[in-house]
Amino acid sequence: MKLVIDTNIIISALIREGITRKMVLFPGIKLFTPEITFNEIENHIGIITTKSKLPKDDIQQILNVLRKNIKTIPESRWWNHFNQATNVIGKKDPKDVPFIAVALALTVDGIWSNDKDFESQSIFKVWKTTELAQKLGFIKEMK
């Protein structure tokens, strides 16, 4: 399974050890994100550190491990899909455009995000964490 991963999922994996972190590290999925994602995370490292209640060095180590499992896609690979991605989601949330552009540039099985703005588009399946965890067998299907 190949998915574009949204920033909020990576931040969740940083803040607490749990299913999200295990899924990010799971070898059964290939994850992709725009290169700018990690810049955004670095800009919010103070807030992440506070929420996680872990020392900044520990957060940095966890981030380094997560980065090894998430392939960053440089702007040069997705920029030619920017206008199409803007038409798909730009009016709802311009900050989500790069994620749609990456998904358009690659052949993926969807976007992993808990951001409701992605639900406004119908080009890609949006995987919520719980749904993906069920699909991958991390949790049993809820009734």
Q: Provide the residue type at 82 as one letter.
A: F
Place of tokens 């991963």: 5
**For residue 60, which of 73, 41, 74, 33 has the smallest C-alpha distance?**
41
Place of tokens 């670095």: 42
Contact (CB, 8 A) for 88 and 43: no
Q: State the CATH class of domain 2-136.
A: alpha beta
pTM of the model: 0.92
Q: What is the pLDDT of residue 139?
A: 84
Q: Is residue 90 very low, low, confident or very high in pLDDT (cuts 50, 70, 90)?
A: confident
Backbone angles phi, psi at 72, to 5 degrees: -85, 135
**pLDDT, mean of residues 75-87:** 96
